[in-house]
């Protein structure tokens, strides 16, 4: 197994971590008194007063408890003929498991109950709270505790894995909402506070500076992190990064460490990105993600790669984005951008690294026009580019739910499992007007896999429909079995041409 020295760690505090912290013993460091007491006449000078910022922001940061209940899941396990015989000589006849192909069998297992804690930031007086997607993803229950120890149940309004942001809501009024600053205006070296609930230590404030901007780590699909040396640990996820006025400039998301604990490098999602994601989740239920249609890397990285291959690289600049590939029929392709071009500006904003480009485009929607400046054969050009969504158009992308299929479903019964020799699936019990009828899916068909994902529950189908509806190819490839035992498949288009 390859040894990984550096870890990108989402700062979510698992219950096990919280409990282990509670078991620590407090110790008092021994000190030796000096023979002579020296009295200093110098006046202590604090470079900046952070008490105002802490006082303003602390009431706006909440504690989030995550609970995922125990579940029964069907998994494939390696088949052992001796284990199968001695543990169940009837080969799964009584429901212990069913043999699969290739030396595997399906077996039902019960997952343990999971609990974890994180943080969130109140952004409106009527109960909207921003946090990280990884704080709430998969939760069956979310409990929000305010700074004054009042507790509320929360529901998820929307979540975005690509930026690791989520919007939740509690039923409350007159809450202390934080003031939101424009993260584009923060400067490296500026003082900031990180506020959250690290390691179960609620209402904790740490101080530091902004160490860098527009960092990319490869942890999320879209990144333009604010880097800070304010201490961020497990449990800080979703908490606030605020300036000296107590205004929100970022949502704390993760730490970078060789050990898994804080070592001086914390990262926050900038409010410029957060504002757009929150607005989209409120209005559309999903993020309207704009795309130029390129893949690439920093110019310096490209130059270093070519040097290692013994080549001399000269692109006319060492700052910008090297275009490694242009997606066919994309906005970039339509604008005439080619492989080897160097993107240097977007709407007059200088682009020196990929995080700059990601941060600027993340604030846009499909259909927005941007002014793109780039070097082609070292010659500067500027063109207007109309951004598109992942599906290659400028239409609003909405999360589809099961209603769009126009059908009703239920988990297969024990009798169906025995008759058809299957261990899971969803029966189509009713077909109305909708996408299933258009594709010819009949009543009684048992869906086993959709887009290569096993369908054990109706929730599994809902999740895959939601994901596919916003993907580049909004299509469901449905595989299953007819009541007669014959296998079949259907192609379901989720969007109209």
Look up tokens 């069956």; give the residue: 140
Has 134 been labeled as part of a binding site?
yes
Which is catalytic among the residues 160, 164, 341, 356? 164
Encode burial over 386-409: b for 16+ CB neighbours within 10 A, e otherwise.
ebbbbbbebeebeebebebbbbeb
Phi-psi region of 470 (alpha: psi -120 to 50; beta: other; left: phi over 0): alpha
Q: How far apart are CA 127 and CA 177, in angstroms?
A: 9
Task: Spell 163-186 as b/e; 16+ CB within 10 A means b.
Answer: bbbbbbbbeeeebebbebbebeeb
Is 63 among the residues known to form the active site?
Answer: no
Question: Binding residue per annotation — 260?
Answer: no
Asked whether residue 434 is marked as a ligand-binding residue, the answer is no
CA distance 427 to 445: 6
Residue 237 falls in the annotated catalytic set: yes
Residues composing the chain: 497
Is 341 in the active site?
A: no
CA angle, 361 as apex, 360 and 363 as ends, to 5°?
75
Catalytic residue among 134, 330, 341, 469: 134
The CA distances from residue 258 to 75, 100, 197, 254, in Å, are 33, 41, 22, 13
Q: How far apart are CA 92 and CA 471, in angstroms?
A: 39
Q: Catalytic pick from 183, 237, 330, 469?
A: 237
Q: Which residues are annotated as a binding site?
A: 134, 164, 235-237
Q: Which residues are annotated as a binding site for substrate?
A: 134, 164, 235-237
Active site residues: 134, 164, 237
């Amino acid at each position: 197994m390859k040894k990984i020295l550096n870890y990108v760690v989402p700062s979510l505090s698992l219950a096990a971590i919280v409990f282990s912290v509670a078991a620590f013993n407090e110790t008092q460091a021994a000190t030796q008194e000096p023979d002579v007491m020296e009295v200093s006449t110098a006046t202590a000078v604090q470079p900046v007063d952070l008490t105002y910022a802490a006082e303003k922001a602390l009431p706006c940061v909440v504690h989030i408890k995550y609970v995922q209940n125990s579940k029964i899941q069907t998994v494939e396990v390696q088949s052992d003929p001796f284990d199968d015989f001695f543990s169940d000589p009837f080969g799964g006849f009584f429901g212990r498991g069913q043999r699969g192909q290739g030396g595997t069998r399906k077996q039902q297992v019960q997952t343990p109950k999971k609990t974890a804690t994180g943080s969130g930031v109140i952004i409106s007086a009527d109960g909207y709270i921003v946090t990280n997607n990884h704080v709430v993803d998969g939760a069956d229950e979310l409990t929000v505790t305010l700074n004054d120890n009042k507790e509320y149940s929360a529901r998820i309004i929307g979540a975005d894995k690509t930026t690791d942001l989520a919007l939740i809501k509690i039923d409350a009024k007159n809450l202390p909402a934080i003031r939101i600053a424009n993260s584009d205006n923060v400067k490296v070296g500026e003082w900031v506070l990180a506020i959250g609930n690290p390691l179960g230590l609620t209402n904790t404030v740490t101080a530091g500076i902004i160490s860098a901007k527009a960092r990319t780590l490869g942890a999320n699909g879209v990144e333009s992190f604010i880097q800070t040396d304010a201490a961020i640990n497990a449990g800080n996820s979703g908490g606030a990064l605020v300036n000296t006025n107590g205004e929100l400039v970022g949502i704390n998301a993760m730490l970078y460490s060789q050990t898994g604990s804080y070592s001086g490098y914390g990262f926050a999602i900038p409010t410029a990105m957060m504002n757009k994601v929150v607005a989209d989740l409120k209005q559309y239920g999903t993020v309207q993600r704009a795309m130029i249609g390129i893949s690439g890397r920093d110019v310096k990285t490209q130059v270093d790669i070519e040097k290692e291959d013994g080549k001399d690289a000269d692109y006319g600049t060492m700052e910008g984005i090297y275009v490694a590939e242009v997606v066919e029929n994309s906005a970039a392709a339509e604008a005439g951008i080619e492989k080897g071009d160097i993107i240097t500006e977007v709407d007059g904003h200088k682009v020196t690294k990929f995080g700059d480009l990601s941060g600027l485009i993340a604030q846009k929607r499909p259909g927005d026009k941007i002014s793109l400046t780039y070097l082609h054969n070292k010659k500067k050009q500027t063109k207007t580019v109309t951004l598109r969504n992942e599906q290659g158009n400028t239409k609003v992308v909405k999360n589809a739910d099961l209603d769009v299929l126009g059908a009703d479903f239920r988990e297969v019964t024990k009798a169906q499992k025995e008759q058809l020799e299957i261990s899971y699936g969803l029966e189509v019990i009713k077909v109305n007007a909708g996408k299933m009828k258009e594709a010819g899916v009949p009543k009684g068909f048992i869906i086993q896999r959709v887009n290569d994902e096993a369908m054990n529950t109706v929730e599994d189908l809902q999740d895959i429909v939601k994901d596919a509806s916003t993907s580049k190819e909004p299509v469901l490839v449905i595989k299953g079995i007819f009541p007669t035992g014959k296998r079949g498949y259907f192609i379901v288009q989720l969007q109209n041409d």
